[in-house]
Structure 1
Amino acid sequence: MPALRSRHPVRSVPGAGRLRDVRRTPAALASTATLMALSVAVAPAATAGESVDAALEWYDTTAATIAAAGAPTQSTNSRTWAISWLAAARALRAAPAGVNRRDYQDAALAGAVHTSLVALVPARAQELDAALRRTLERIPDGPAEERGVADGQRRARTVLASREGDGLDPASVNSPYPTPQPGPGIWQPTPPTYSPAVQAGNRAARPFLLERADQFRPGPPPALGSGRYRADLAEVRAYGSTDSTARTPRQTETATFWLGSSLTLYTGPLRVALARSHRPAAERATLVALFHVALVDTQIATSDTKYAYLRWRPVTAIRSADIDGDPATSPDPDWTPLHTTPAHPDYPSGHNTYSGAAEQILTALVGPRTAPFSLTSPTAPGVTRTYTDWRTLTQENVDARVWSGIHTRSADTVGVDLGRQVARHTLRHADRLFR
């Protein structure tokens, strides 16, 4: 590909230094979108004369950036999405008079997401510069382009500054957490690695819209020895073991399909919603922004609840819990879950708080159903599933964590409820993000 040429010198505008650098950078770079196999098919690149959807273009660039060089902590990556797309949504809320609206909005979106991502994932600056150049080469030089980029950059700097020191960096998220003294029901490190607890620092992070981390903290998990507790353990014991004879092949596939990062698994469904939306550009950017704002706050609320109750994982309970003489809760020291248990408490399930919040945002902003879409999973190669609504994804997540042997059903269902509550709060107070 030959180097891209500027048709006219770029005028001096606030924050345009990087724009000038980008326009002079050689363009022989692979598209960042090819660096990540998204959960749904990515639209092919436009040919000459075809219209390009800037929102999808920068959605794919964001996904590829995080996949290639993102943080090791999911909440940090959700923060990157939230900051980048909140800046874009703010920039798109109004276009100045006297300029081409579409050109201005494409430039503003690109300027906002590019500036945010370069600041948050600097290792990808070269690829991000190339992506910005590709967008700007489609836009005629002039006030719409220049003002759009400048406004997007300004919005990005404002959002970045507002989130500085929010405690969502990897070191803060995974701040050391002392292992509690052993006791019935109390979380302990789990086999096979017996690693110390992670993600405890999320509960001390600054939310986007929650007033405090415990704002929607649910009531405690089922009491040890209660009927609900025994039923939970009996189900996991029967269906969640590595050698279960009760679990069907389809249930095993479900557990494996939803095993990976929720952020990765929901990148595809959110892209489907964005691609099929015919709303104005600002509303489409707001969809992505609010989705991830809600998910950051949900992850903060999840860690608050987990570390408030410190409920042990099923593997610990099943191996050691002879609580009341009931055969369903007598110890089974050799019991092993289908999948390795993550290093944090059981209650609630983080996968399911994520699912509940994601479902609530998508349902509220694009409706509960959509035309069929196919979804794949990096943890289940070769498996493709088709969906027509968002709730089925949540229902499968609830079952999956039980069939993986790593959560009780109570932890899953309470998690869904918590995620939905946080998401509803996000939607009710979204106007605070745009003041």
Structure 2
Amino acid sequence: MRKAGLAIFLVFAIGSAARADEVTAWNNTLFRSGVVASSSSQNMSRFAALVQTAVFDSVNGIERRYTPIHVAPAGPAGASSSAAAAQAAYSILSRLYGQGGLFTPNQQATLDASLAASLARIARYDSAAAIKSGRDWGQTVGDAIWTWRSTDGFSLAAPTWEGFTTLGQWRPTPNDPYPSPTALAKGVGYPQYATMTPWSIPSRSQFRPGGPPPLTSAQYAKDFNETKLMGSQMSTARSSEQTVYSWSWATGTASYLWNHVAVSLLEQRGDDRHDLKRNDKKDEDNHSDGSSTLLRNARVLAALDIAVADATIGCWDAKYTFNFWRPITAIRETADVGNAATTTDATWTPLFATPAHPEYPSGHSCVSGAATTILAKEFGEHTRFAVTSDLLLGVTRSFRSFTDALEEVKNARIFSGIHFRTACDDGTTLGKQVAQYVLDHNFQRAH
């Protein structure tokens, strides 16, 4: 598990020049703040959902086009949707990263400057009265979302969790990137996410997968031997390209990557408005301040980040239900499991340092399954995009479909030696199921 600041992706759509608005601008501010604070993947899934839910409900509360996530659409007539979006995002981010916020360093001055820049842009097309009204409404929504989720079970202080000694069960790994003996007590494994209240799905276990294969099964042996062969640090079976793309997907914050994909595609699309639930349906309204585009962008990012947040919660529920061991432990200790098709290698080491939480299912696969489902629904399965990682000095991965990218994510986790195939397949399924539920039960057209 890597910190957010260690692997930053530049994401771009393959097509025309991009155009930003206050929704996409504040999404970028959100993730820049997370990078500065080294916020984890798990925490960023929650923080992004907080921000994008507040942004959506604030804009939708003025436009009144969809059912809300939490705050009834009671925004004042004539209020600036852009100002509402900016203020809602600012209100959440200030609580997270500003003066007296949850994280250091204090980024309040940067957030204040971002808000001032937003208001200067908005003043070019909205009146002072509309801006004030919009800001007041955005603050109201931001406050309501923060209060709503303040009892969802989130805590920066994780419960102490040290794993097990039983065969097949997770225990601290020898190449843990956080080797301190007190690291788990400090929340490295994020067990608190296994008991958090979801945003949309009815329960954490709603889409809980069936669990890893039995240690004596043929499927376990197949998974074991694939990772042992392909995920070894010194593997000669893994191609140079496979090594490169394993590192390309090494970022610990998958929500960061998929939000940047979404923002890039939204900005490229500009004013070409579509309905998330019916891609062939054109929006008919075009407000003078571009607020129909603003609402569409707010809706897409809210759907994405709610799906990612719930996929993370569902994934961590499964991780701490099954508590399955990581490949490095399995391969070094497999002699006694009773499977003749698996053999021990006491010195086997994976390509990557092993994340400090149970193996099944794969977190990257859960999040990426959710994200690609939302994005394929909005932009079309065969949308072309590319990602460039500064971790590998500008190596770019280009994709012709979201499915292609998802398959590469799954393979990257196996070829990096930190996951088995079943964990990636089942994680992908979990993420897709969560995303479909989010789409089916939210963002209904208002009548």
Is this a same-fold pair by TM over 0.5?
A: yes
Aligned-partner Cα distance in 1 for 2:38–2:84: 23
SS at match of 1:57: helix
Structure 2's unaligned 5+ residue stretches are 1-6, 64-74, 99-105, 274-291
State whether residues 83 and 135 of structure 2, in contact with CA within 8 Å, keep that contact through their aligned partners in structure 1.
Answer: yes
Deviation of 1:336 after TM superposition, in Å, equals 0.9
Q: Which amino acid aligns with 2:234?
A: D
For the pair shown, which has the larger CA radius of gyration, 1 or 2? Answer: 1
Match of 1:39 in 2: 10
Match of 1:346 in 2: 359
Aligned-partner Cα distance in 1 for 2:76–2:442: 26
Change in CA separation of 1:69 and 1:184 when aligned onto 2, cut-off 3 Å: closer
Q: Which amino acid aligns with 1:399?
A: N
Change in CA separation of 1:201 and 1:434 when aligned onto 2, cut-off 3 Å: farther
Q: How does 1:109-120 map to 2 (within 5 A)?
A: 109-120=85-96
Q: Do structure 1's residue 254 and structure 2's residue 245 form an aligned pair? A: yes
Q: Do structure 1's residue 153 and structure 2's residue 139 form an aligned pair? A: yes
Q: Which amino acid aligns with 2:57?
A: R
Aligned-partner Cα distance in 1 for 2:208–2:232: 30
Q: Which has the higher contact order (CA 8 A, sep 6+)?
A: 2
Deviation of 1:374 after TM superposition, in Å, equals 2.7
Q: Do structure 1's residue 283 and structure 2's residue 254 form an aligned pair? A: no
Match of 1:175 in 2: 159
Match of 1:60 in 2: 28
Q: Which amino acid aligns with 2:207?
A: F
SS at match of 1:369: coil
Q: Which amino acid aligns with 2:263?
A: R
Q: Deviations over 1:246-281 (max 9, x none)?
A: 111011111111111212332321222321343322
Match of 1:379 in 2: 391
Aligned length: 385
Q: Deviations over 1:140-159 (max 9, x none)?
A: 54321111111111111111
Deviation of 1:431 after TM superposition, in Å, equals 4.5
Name whichever of 393-402 and 51-60 sits farther off: 51-60
State whether residues 11 and 260 of structure 2, in contact with CA within 8 Å, keep that contact through their aligned partners in structure 1.
Answer: yes
How does the TM-score come out when normalised to structure 1? 0.82
Aligned-partner Cα distance in 2 for 1:55–1:232: 42
Aligned-partner Cα distance in 2 for 1:345–1:98: 50
Q: Do structure 1's residue 87 and structure 2's residue 70 form an aligned pair? A: no
Change in CA separation of 1:224 and 1:111 when aligned onto 2, cut-off 3 Å: same
**Quick one: which of 234, 239, 243 aligns to 1:243?**
234
Q: Deviations over 1:47-105 (max 9, x none)?
A: xxxx862223222222212222353x322222221111211111212347874x7xx12
Aligned-partner Cα distance in 2 for 1:347–1:335: 20
How does the TM-score come out when normalised to structure 2? 0.80
Q: Which amino acid aligns with 2:26?
A: W
Change in CA separation of 1:98 and 1:407 when aligned onto 2, cut-off 3 Å: closer
Aligned-residue sequence identity (percent) comes to: 32
Deviation of 1:388 after TM superposition, in Å, equals 2.9
Q: How does 1:14-413 map to 2 (within 5 A)?
A: 38-40=9-11, 53-69=21-37, 71=39, 73-93=40-60, 94-95=62-63, 99=78, 104-122=80-98, 123-138=106-121, 139=123, 140-171=126-157, 174-180=158-164, 182-193=165-176, 196=184, 198-261=189-252, 262-277=254-269, 278-279=272-273, 280=292, 281-322=294-335, 323-324=337-338, 326=340, 328-370=341-383, 372-413=384-425
Change in CA separation of 1:147 and 1:97 when aligned onto 2, cut-off 3 Å: closer
Match of 2:3 in 1: none
Deviation of 1:177 after TM superposition, in Å, equals 1.1
SS at match of 2:11: coil
Aligned-partner Cα distance in 2 for 1:127–1:415: 37
Aligned-partner Cα distance in 2 for 1:115–1:306: 33
Change in CA separation of 1:418 and 1:97 when aligned onto 2, cut-off 3 Å: closer
